Amino acid sequence: MSEEGSGVECLVTRHGASPGIRLGAGAALEPDRIAAVVDMFGAGTSVQAELDRQDVTRFGASRIVYQHAEERLRLRICCRRGDREGWVLAESLDLDALAGLRDRMTAALSVLPPSGPVEMADAGPDPGERSSYYPATAADSAADRVGWFESVRDRLGSGVDLGGSVSRSVSEHVVADAGGLLRHEGRTRCGLMVVAARDGVSSYGKALHRDSASIDPVALADRVLADLPTGTAQELPSAPRVLLAPQAVATLLATFAQLAVGARELSGGASPLSDRFGQQVLSPLVSLHDDGADPSGMPTGFDCQGATKMPVELLRAGVPLAGVHDRTTAARDGVAGTGHAVPPGWRFGAGPAASHLLLDAGASADADLLAVLGDGVWVQRVDYVRVLQPRQALVTGTTRDATRLVRGGRVLGPVPQFRFTVRLDDLLRDVIAVGERRERSETVFMESVVAPAMVVRSLGDLEPTGR
Amino acid sequence: MRDLATDGLDLLPSDVAYADIRVVYRRHEGLHVQDGRVSPVVDSESAGIGLRVLIGGQWGFAATSRTERAALAVLVDGAVGQARAAAGAGGGRRGLGDPVTTRACWSSPVVTDPFSVPLGDKVDLLLQASALMSGGASGGCRLTAEASMDFFRDRKVFANTEGAVIEQAITESGAGLLATATGGGDVQRRSYPQSVPRAIRGQRGDFATGGYEHVLGLDLLGNAGRVGEEASALLTAPQCPSETTTLIVSGTQMAQLVHETAGHAMEADRVLGTEASLSGATYATPQRRGSFRFGSDLVTVFADATLSGGLGTFGFDDEGVPGQRVDLVRGGVFRGYLSGRESAAAIGEAPTGASRADGWARVPLVRMTNVCLAPGESSLAEMVAGTERGVLIDMNRTLSIDDVRMSFRFGAEVGWEIRDGKVGRMLRNCSYSGVTPRFWAGCDAIGGPDEFRLYGIPSCNKGEPLQVAHIGHGTVPARFRNVRVGTR
């Protein structure tokens, strides 16, 4: 180790069972090897390393469409040379290959104008043991995934078209820097998505857990089948009340949080919650947290900057209280980081961003929610929700899969899918009831979202999809 | 790379009916400047191998970032094990059509290698553009001025068990500007020369297969001041009125419109129901082919992977099928599909060379190439002059479309009202909605060949795991009657 050495020997934390995954016959992601990379790139270096194995079995029209297995090492090496910074992204731990990239980056940074110092808040306390890694998931095989497909298909029975996927990942994450930080965690993820279709209507279900043994594919198939619309097609009422099933709430909530709770959006005046902290903005029935330690979600110890994921109470009874920070925004604002950094070049913005949302459950059983709804529409899933105006939280999207008419608290037949355009702060202000049962979900930009069903007064402007 | 590919195929067991292997190396350089400050430079290298096998009618696919010979046996075991595991699951039957036996090399033309241009020169250009944008701020608003460049180089080898061995090298270059203005409880933005619907940092702007000459041709400095001024001006511009009116869609906005309503809809895998649970299905079913009226007689949409400089331009797709042109809509009628070998065989035709994978770690899917709206005989000026009352919109800001590609709503960065044949006030928060065939049926004028422009978008999402494709759209402005526009 050089004089400017990484200091990784002062190990901050190592927790969670190491998956010890290997790239084929290659080496596992050992902290010592990451330390060597930090050491080689020199002072000011930080490294984010992921060794990831993803497996997916995709099915459609009741047959397996394709299967996928991917093993990948990702290294994101942040190089600082004075007030200049660059990222080397590589997929090898070969020090000779990395030396070439280091030299290229050093040469590149030497010609750039200085960008000023980058202050970073402390990475926070040891995250401790979190339920992020399960050997059962890591041991899943292609035959197991095919078995789930067959179980679900057989449970749905003939005459029902099955689509969806079984996905599994096992990964190992290391964040280390030249200042002595070292975080190391194994993570597993298992997901089952089921879409059952019959006679032009469909029903959707999703199960997600870090532990594959906690997912019951037959139970999910039963639930999806129970919600598959039957009966005569109904007309879409004008301006109906809406009962949003948990997966629909999760998508809308994630979109709102993506717009609203990041420290950059909040301080820059771009968030719909900017300048509204302490005010009654949403319904008193809406209490929202972000907590990477909560086993209801997908527990994770730290973010890509190595900062511990801290619990953040975002909204209490409809009143905004706090946003999420990465180490840079925390240092800028003089507060503690919350562990919500996003990787460099992330597709969904510069971050920080909420990652583990949890909406507090309410008191209403599923049957009670229908009774509260009375007359209206039950929406199982919303799709392609996109932001029209960020500051106003104005979004548009469509319903998808099971969308059914409810009359007098009784579920009737399917209604045509429709487009909605709504301000999410309006939607979440006019909440009538919240369910007691929560489901775990995710989006492409959020690791987990845990949400119950809710009855809302309106889903905004509705237009038929014309299909 | 070539030897690695062919050696991998040599390891396959005898029950493999078909296999292909891709060895892919990608380099990416990303530069981003915000408010006169250089963001961290990104220098990325990715290399790996993807192997796909077909056994007993079931696919297996395995990929690894290890590129040494020792990884090949592990890769074969993984892919073969998967396919065999699914052997009893039923439904196995795959046709791939005629064998692909091509042996070829292909490179995209490059005048100036973007990786050889001094970094300082590239950053200086972005800093100047950022400063010019910032200078356009007015009215006490807060303006964030971002400028970025990205360069990609893919070297890839494709080989299959039918005898094909294809080597390709594709260089892509792009740059863009984004000004975001905040003030008065609102956020507005302007982009140049093309936008992306999400807040992707970098990888914005317009991209092409080509070198640094493409970036220089964009004239970032000549447009930066205007972009900053328009972003600021939007904060105080009147809201777009909600009404049913005549809509003129600019070429930049048209790129997204063609992408969502025609391009994705005519991907053949959607027809087969294999994407129904994820990306969705389509209105463009085989039964409707040749008779379904997509739009007015004026509308012709084609996909062409051979257009010079297109971001969806290549020699061969990732199944070894040559890049080609195919009509999707002709004279307003739905005619054809983008397809890969399997989807083409399922609908009984030859593949159209549109099967591509995102790097080495993904299976090939049906993806767009350069999907274009064919030029007509009008012009933007003529369309405006012939419009008594309407809205002209430019640059996509957001989009949403349903899972069968019928109901859509698009938001634009900016609009201008049209009154009595003249462009009037700037409008903010413009969006419009429609149902695909009804919307396109209202198309009564399309810009001519002089206004045809090819845009490159490096951010088309599809698949599980997610794949991001680089695609092109050739467009012209067009006019549509009886469109619902407005703020909401």
Note whether B43 contacts A87, CB cutoff 8 Å: yes
- Region of B327 on the Ramachandran plot (φ > 0 left; ψ -120 to 50 alpha; else beta): beta
pLDDT of residue B277: 77
Kindly list the residues from chain A whose CB atom is less than 8 angstroms away from the CB atom of residue B278: 58, 163, 165
**H-type alpha helices, A23-141:** 31-41, 95-110, 135-138
> Helix, strand, or coil here: A198?
strand
Of how many residues is chain A composed?
467
The answer to whether A33 and A94 are in contact (CB under 8 A) is: no
> Helix, strand, or coil here: B87?
helix
Helices (H) and strands (E) counted in chain B, each on its own, are 10, 24
- The DSSP output letter for A236 is P
Mutate which: A41, A50, A68, vs B, most B CBs within 10 A: A68
Flag residues of chain B having pLDDT under 50: none
Tokens of B331: 């004279």
pLDDT of residue A28: 63
- What is the largest distance, in Å, between two alpha-carbon atoms of chain A? 77
Smallest CA–CA distance from A270 into chain B, residue = B187
A186: β partners: A172
Mutate which: A98, A396, A403, A417, vs B, most B CBs within 10 A: A396
- HSE-CB at B177 with a 13 A cutoff on CA atoms is 34
pLDDT of residue B198: 60
d(CA A117, CA A353): 23
Q: How big is chain A by its Cα radius of gyration, in Å?
A: 24
CB contact, 8 Å: A388 with chain B?
A: yes
The answer to whether B120 and B183 are in contact (CB under 8 A) is: no
- HSE-CB at B324 with a 13 A cutoff on CA atoms is 17
d(CA B5, CA B267): 29
Nearest Cα to Cα of residue A454 among A387, A318, A321, A360? A360
d(CA B84, CA B88): 8
Neighbours of A464 (CB within 10 A): 15
Place of tokens 């039963």: A222
Note whether A58 contacts B123, CB cutoff 8 Å: no
Place of tokens 């995934």: A145
Q: What global pTM score does this model have?
A: 0.94
Mark which residues 143-162 of A lie under 8 Å from B by CB: 143, 145-146, 149-150, 161
> Helix, strand, or coil here: A368?
helix
Inter-CA distances, B73 with A24, A207, B62, Å: 9, 34, 11
pLDDT of residue A436: 98
d(CA B171, CA B166): 17
Tokens of B199: 């807040």
Nearest chain A Cα distance for residue B378, angstroms: 30
The answer to whether B192 and B176 are in contact (CB under 8 A) is: yes
The answer to whether A91 and B48 are in contact (CB under 8 A) is: yes
> Helix, strand, or coil here: B439?
helix
pLDDT of residue A350: 84
pLDDT of residue A71: 92
Q: Between B2-10 and B70-85, two packed helices, what is the crossing angle to 10 degrees?
A: 50
pLDDT of residue B488: 63
Tokens of B141: 């608003």
pLDDT of residue B90: 80
How many beta-carbon contacts under 8 Å exist across A and B? 277
Place of tokens 């090298």: B169
d(CA B9, CA B71): 13
Flag residues of chain A having pLDDT under 50: 1-27
Q: Which tens digit of pLDDT belongs to each residue from B86-137?
A: 988 887 667 999 999 999 999 999 999 999 999 999 999 999 999 999 998 8
Mark which residues 274-333 of A lie under 8 Å from B by CB: none
For residue B62, give the amino acid letter. Answer: A
Inter-CA distances, B291 with B189, B282, B350, Å: 41, 15, 21
Mark which residues 401-440 of A lie under 8 Å from B by CB: 417-419, 421
pLDDT of residue B202: 63
Of B65, B70, B118, the CB nearest to A91: B65
Mark which residues 186-245 of A lie under 8 Å from B by CB: 193, 195, 197, 204
The answer to whether B148 and B176 are in contact (CB under 8 A) is: yes
Cis previous bond, A352, omega within 30: yes
Inter-CA distances, A36 with A22, A99, A312, B189, Å: 19, 11, 35, 44
d(CA B25, CA A384): 32
d(CA B68, CA B158): 17
Give A419-466 as a DSSP string.
Answer: EEEEEHHHHHHSEEEEEEEEEEEEETTEEEEEEEEEEES---EEEE--
pLDDT of residue B197: 59
Give B255-279 as a DSSP string.
Answer: HHHHIIIIIGGGBHHHHTTTTTTTT
pLDDT of residue A92: 86
Note whether A54 contacts B465, CB cutoff 8 Å: yes
Residues 6+ apart with CB under 8 A from B287: none
d(CA B296, CA B439): 9
